Every structure is written in C-alpha cells, then in structure tokens.
C-alpha cells in the first residue's frame, strides 16, 4: 500500500473544487427551507419566468442546457419532454422519488431540505409538457421528506404558485404526493406508474413508452427528483450559464455524489460533473479510507453498475468517462470497498438484494437471481469449484437482455464484473475451502 505522498503527481489529490452548491446549498442543515427563505434566495424566479414563455420555449431551454436525467440512465431531460405528443386531453408529470438504489440518499436530502426547489421544478416541467396534474411518487419510508413536500405544496398553493390560475396566467396545476409501499422495482418508471394506478408494481413492456402512453395510458413524463431540482436554476439563470458548469456538451451541470461504504466521511457531495475523479472524491471529500487503508473497488451506482477496480480511480466522475472506464455513473451512489472487504461476499449480498427485489414477472430474472445467489453463497463458503464460475457467467448470460426491465440486467453485473475482475479472490475461496476474510468479518 502506498501513502498519498509516495504516489506519482497525476495521482495526487487536487485542491477541493471551487464551487458553490446550488441543489444542496446548506450542507449540514437539518430543517427545511420554507417559502419565505426560498424566495429570498431567488426561489420561484425560474417558474415566474417560465410561465411567461411558450411551453416549447421552456423545453428548448432545458434541451440546450444539456441536462441529463439524474435517475440512472442519463437520458436528456429536454428531449424526453419533447417526445410528449401535442394532443388534447390529460397529460401527467410524475416525479420519481422512490430512491431505493443501495447507497443512494441524494433525493432524500433535496426533498427534506429544499422541498420548494423540487416543487418549482415539477411546476416548470408540468407547464412545459402541458400537464395539469403532477405526482411525486415517494417511497413510504421517506416520511419526513413526504411531510415536508406536503407542507411546501400547501405553502405554494397559498401563494398562488400552484393550484388554480397560477400567478394569474390561467394555467391550473395540482401537485400531489403519493407515498409508495416500499419496493425497489417501484423506482422502475413503468412499475411506478402501475403502482400509482393502484396495481402491483410490475414493469410494462415497451413500446409504448410513457411519453406516449404512461399514467392512465395518457402521455406522461417521469423524471427523477434531482433532474427536476436542476430545472429552476436553468430557467432562472439561462441555459448558457448552466453549460458553464461541468463538461459541455454532454456532461453539464451539478451532480450530487452519494458517497458511502469504507470512507471516513460518507455523505452527499455536490460538484460539477467531471470536476473530480473517484480518487479526489474519496480522498478530498470523503476523508480517505478508514485506518489509512486502500481501495479495492468502487461501485459507481450502488448495486446496479459493474464494480470498477482500484486502477480506475483516476477516472473523472461524469457519464461518459465512467462509461469509458467500463461501468455507469447511474444515480452516482458510490459505494467504496476497501481491502478488508470480501468481494465474493459483497457480490452474494448484492445478489440477495436483487433476488428479493425481482418482481417475478420474467422467468429468467425470477429464477436466475435465486440461482445466482445460491451459487455465490456456496462459493463464498469455500464449497464451490471453478465450474461454478462458468455456471455464474452462463446463468448471467441467460438473464441479461432477455427480460422486461433493467433490474434483470442490473442483477448480473455484481456477478460478471467481480468474476472477471477479481477471479483470483474467487479461486482463493475454493483453494482454502473457506472465506479468507472470515477472521475479521464473522
């Protein structure tokens, strides 16, 4: 293990980035920013501006900003809004506040501390796509966040910012908070819509996509909390200003990185996309690894994206760089694993999660996640063989790309990425006939 001083210059941590957070401007705060304080800081100026513009001009502004969806796939937000057909009848804006990815806790902080920022973003998005009804679908465990959103919506209604005839414009908007019952699959947008309609959350087959046939089979946009929280800033300050943050054209704006696992200072760190590397985030912001330890690997997007090995730590934290390194930035819920962590056990634990959360609609996912978990458990206990590694890869191949939603694909990455990149650690388990980490992790 090398100390920071012994590393070559390109691996030295740079000074902290000079940036003032806008999505979470009050680090450490526990009380919500309510209407008066929010307005004093410029809140709702974006909405007041948007409502004087043509809806298409609002969509253009968001398109030009380069804002990509922060819920996982990084799909351009403005383009998604632009897919909504110009038809008569109801359209819906749905905010995805299900936040169930392991290691993700950014949306929670936005909603608990900055509920009005989200309400403003929902209002602008709804207006842009022509929706008069919006839902914030929040996981049921987020009781504080849901209560604060309800309070913020009530305040905004009282002030004429949402409700009937918003700001005297003739536009009507109702925003409702819907509390889910808690399942990872409810974050998948079509399962979420099923749940919102009162059914069991099982993903729909696509096409049609929600923009065309979503809630109650009407045109619907589903956007993540953090995506919508960016929107007021874009409208207030303009897309050109927004593009100065991050790495234009495809990685613009701020991103909240949820840092957890084996770091000294876990937490939400908001920084411009691409402004720091994994190493800088872990060392400068996360305070490094406990006991001066070394990183063994990083999961960039909770359990859903392939683990990156320590030699990728100098990768920049933006969508394209992380993809080029062999993984996905996803929701940027980074879980750090250090050398005290058994990779086989970590893979088994992640698979247990997917086994439990599979909705069961597709046979390869329902049966395959259970078998992947069983085989990983056997390997972790030192009862496996090299044939099991082939079995894991073959089973993964029978799930990936053969199922209805991305959960099935996500479920294979803890397996395939660890078998490929940490093969020696798997071999060590069956060479010893036990887990080499048993002594510390009993």
Ligand X SMILES: Cc1cc2nc3c(=O)[nH]c(=O)nc-3n(C[C@H](O)[C@H](O)[C@H](O)COP(=O)(O)O)c2cc1C
- For CA atoms 141, 147, 152, 158, the dihedral sign is positive
β-pairing verdict for 308-309 and 295-299: antiparallel
Cβ contacts of 283 within 8 Å, gap of 6 or more:
4, 13
Binding mask 13-52 for ligand X (x = CB under 6 A): ----------------------------------------
In the set 187, 210, 246, 261, which binds ligand X (CB under 6 A)? 187
Q: Least distance (Å) from ligand X to the CB of residue 360?
A: 13
| Helices marked H in 142-224 | 143-158, 189-196
**Which of ligand SF4, ligand X, none interacts with 69 (beta carbon under 5 to 8 A by kind)?**
ligand X
Strands 333-338 and 295-299: antiparallel
98's contact among ligand SF4, ligand X, none, with CB below 5 to 8 A by partner kind, is: ligand X
What distance in Å separates the CA atoms of residue 230 and residue 42, rounded to the nearest whole number?
Answer: 14
In angstroms, what is the minimal distance from the CB of 235 to ligand SF4? 35
User: Residues 402-431: x/- map of binding to ligand X (CB under 6 A)?
Assistant: ---xxx------------------------
The span from the CA of 170 to the CA of 168, in Å, is 6
Report the residue from 19, 75, 83, 216 that binds ligand X according to the rule CB under 6 A.
Answer: 75
Give the distance from CA 364 to its chain's centroid: 25
Strands 133-138 and 174-179 come out as parallel
Report the nearest approach of ligand X to the CB of residue 330 (Å): 9
The helix (H) or strand (E) run that includes residue 7 is none
Is residue 398 within 8 A of residue 422, CB to CB? The reply is no
Rounded CA separation 329/289 (Å)? 21
* Residue 61 found at the interface with ligand X (CB under 6 A): no
- Asked if 72 touches ligand X (CB under 6 A), the answer is yes
In the complex, least distance from residue 329 CB atom to ligand SF4, rounded to whole angstroms: 22
Binding residues for ligand SF4, total number by CB under 6 A: 14
Q: Does 73 bind ligand X (CB under 6 A)?
A: yes
Question: How far apart (Å, rounded) are the C-alpha atoms in residues 221 and 124?
Answer: 12
Q: How far is the CB of 342 from ligand SF4 (least distance, A)?
A: 27
Nearest to 224 by CA among 381, 23, 440: 23
DSSP 342: -
Question: If we measure between CA atoms, which residue out of 280, 262, 407, 412 comes closest to residue 335?
Answer: 262
**What residue 179 binds from ligand SF4, ligand X, none (CB within 5 to 8 A, per partner kind)?**
none
Region 143-172 residues binding ligand X, contact defined as CB under 6 A: none
Looking only at residues 186 through 215 of this chain, which bind ligand SF4 when binding is defined by CB under 6 A? 203
Output the six-digit token pair for 159.
């002030």
Best CA proximity match to 120, nearest among 196, 23, 210: 23
Q: Is the CB of 224 or the CB of 284 nearer to ligand X?
A: 224
> What is the pattern of x (binds ligand X, CB under 6 A) and - over residues 83-122?
-------------x-xxxx---------------------
358 in contact with ligand X (CB under 6 A): no
Binding residue for ligand SF4, selected from 360, 401, 433, 436, defined by CB under 6 A? 360
Which span (45-53, 179-187, 281-289, 391-399) binds ligand X, by CB under 6 A?
A: 179-187
Q: Crossing angle of helices 225-237/115-129, nearest 10°? A: 80
Which residues are paired to 94 by β-bridges?
A: 135, 222
Closest to ligand SF4 by CB, 258 or 403: 403
Q: Verify binding: residue 126, ligand X, rule CB under 6 A.
A: no
Report the DSSP beta bridge partners of residue 247.
251
Q: Are 372 and 400 in contact (CB under 8 A)?
A: no
The binder of 396, among ligand X, ligand SF4, none, by C-beta within 5 to 8 A per type, is: none
Binding piece for ligand SF4, criterion CB under 6 A, among 164-172, 320-328, 353-361, 383-391: 353-361
Give the residue with the Cβ less far from ligand SF4, 85 or 182.
182
Q: Per the structure block, which two tokens stand in for 169?
A: 């414009």
Q: Mask of contacts with ligand SF4, 378-407, x by CB under 6 A?
A: -------------------------xxx-x
Nearer CB in complex with ligand SF4: 91/361: 361
Quote the CA–CA distance of 241 and 229 in Å, as a whole number.
16
Contacting positions for ligand X (CB under 6 A): 69-73, 75, 96, 98-101, 184-185, 187-189, 222-224, 227, 405-407
């Amino acid at each position: 293990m090398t100390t920071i001083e012994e590393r070559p210059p390109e691996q030295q941590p740079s000074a902290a980035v000079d940036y003032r957070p806008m999505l979470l401007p009050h680090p450490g705060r526990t009380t919500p920013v309510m209407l008066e304080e929010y307005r004093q800081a410029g809140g709702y100026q974006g909405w007041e501006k948007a409502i004087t513009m043509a809806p298409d001009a609002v969509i253009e502004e968001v398109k030009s900003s380069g804002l990509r969806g922060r819920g996982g796939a990084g799909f351009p937000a403005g383009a998604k809004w632009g897919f909504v057909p110009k038809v008569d009848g109801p359209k819906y804006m749905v905010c995805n506040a299900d936040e169930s990815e392991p290691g993700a806790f950014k949306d929670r902080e936005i909603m608990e501390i900055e509920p009005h920022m989200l309400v403003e973003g929902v209002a602008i998005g709804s207006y842009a796509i022509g929706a008069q009804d919006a839902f914030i679908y929040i996981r049921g465990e987020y009781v504080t966040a849901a209560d604060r959103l309800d309070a913020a919506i009530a305040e905004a209604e009282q002030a004429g910012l949402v409700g009937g005839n918003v700001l005297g414009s003739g536009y009507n908007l109702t925003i409702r908070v819907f509390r889910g019952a808690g399942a990872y699959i409810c974050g998948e947008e079509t399962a979420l819509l099923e749940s919102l309609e009162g059914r069991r959350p099982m993903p729909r087959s696509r096409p049609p996509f929600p923009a065309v046939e979503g809630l109650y089979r009407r045109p619907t946009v589903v956007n993540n909390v953090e995506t919508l929280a960016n929107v007021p800033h874009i409208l207030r300050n303009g897309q050109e200003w927004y593009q100065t943050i991050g790495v234009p054209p495809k990685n613009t704006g701020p991103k909240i990185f949820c840092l957890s696992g084996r770091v000294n200072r876990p937490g939400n760190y908001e920084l411009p996309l691409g402004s720091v590397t994994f190493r800088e985030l872990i060392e400068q912001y996360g305070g490094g690894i406990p006991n001066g330890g070394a990183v063994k690997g990083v999961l960039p997007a909770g359990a859903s994206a392939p683990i990156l090995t320590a030699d990728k730590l100098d990768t920049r934290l933006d969508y394209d760089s992380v993809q080029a390194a062999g993984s996905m930035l996803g929701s940027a819920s980074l879980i750090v694993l250090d050398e005290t962590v058994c990779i086989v056990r970590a893979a088994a634990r992640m698979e247990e999660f997917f086994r439990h959360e599979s909705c069961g609609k597709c046979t390869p996912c329902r049966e395959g996640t259970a078998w992947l978990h069983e085989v990983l458990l056997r390997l972790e206990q030192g009862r496996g063989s090299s044939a099991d590694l082939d079995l894991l890869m073959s089973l993964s191949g029978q799930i990936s790309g053969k199922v209805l939603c991305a959960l099935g694909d996500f479920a294979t990455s803890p397996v395939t990425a660890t078998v490929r990149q940490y093969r020696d650690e798997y071999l060590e388990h069956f060479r010893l006939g036990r887990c080499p980490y048993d002594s510390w992790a009993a």
